[in-house]
Amino acid sequence: GQNIDQPTEMTATEGAIVQINCTYQTSGFNGLFWYQQHAGEAPTFLSYNVLDGLEEKGRFSSFLSRSKGYSYLLLKELQMKDSASYLCAVRDNYGQNFVFGPGTRLSVLP
Amino acid sequence: DSGVTQTPKHLITATGQRVTLRCSPRSGDLSVYWYQQSLDQGLQFLIQYYNGEERAKGNILERFSAQQFPDLHSELNLSSLELGDSALYFCASSPRNTEAFFGQGTRLTVV
Q: How far apart are CA B22 and CA B32, in angstroms?
A: 11
Is the pLDDT assigned to residue B97 strictly greater than 90? no
Q: What is the pLDDT along chain A (110 residues), one digit of tens a residue?
A: 678 999 999 999 999 999 999 999 987 888 999 999 999 899 999 999 999 999 998 999 999 999 999 999 999 999 999 999 999 999 887 667 888 999 999 999 99
| B74-78: average pLDDT | 98
Among B35, B43, B96, the residue to mutate for chain A (most A Cβ within 10 A): B43
Which residue does chain A place closest to B59, by CA atoms? A99
- CB contact (8 A) between residue A48 and residue B98: yes
Please state the separation of Cα A22 from the chain's center in Å: 7
- CB contact (8 A) between residue A87 and residue B2: no
3-state helix, strand, coil in chain A (%, to 5): 5, 55, 40
- CB contact (8 A) between residue B42 and residue A40: no
The total of other beta-carbon atoms located within 10 Å of residue B13's CB is 16
Phi then psi dihedrals of residue A80, to 5 deg: -55, -35
Instruction: Report the DSSP pairing between strands A70-75 and A60-65.
Output: antiparallel
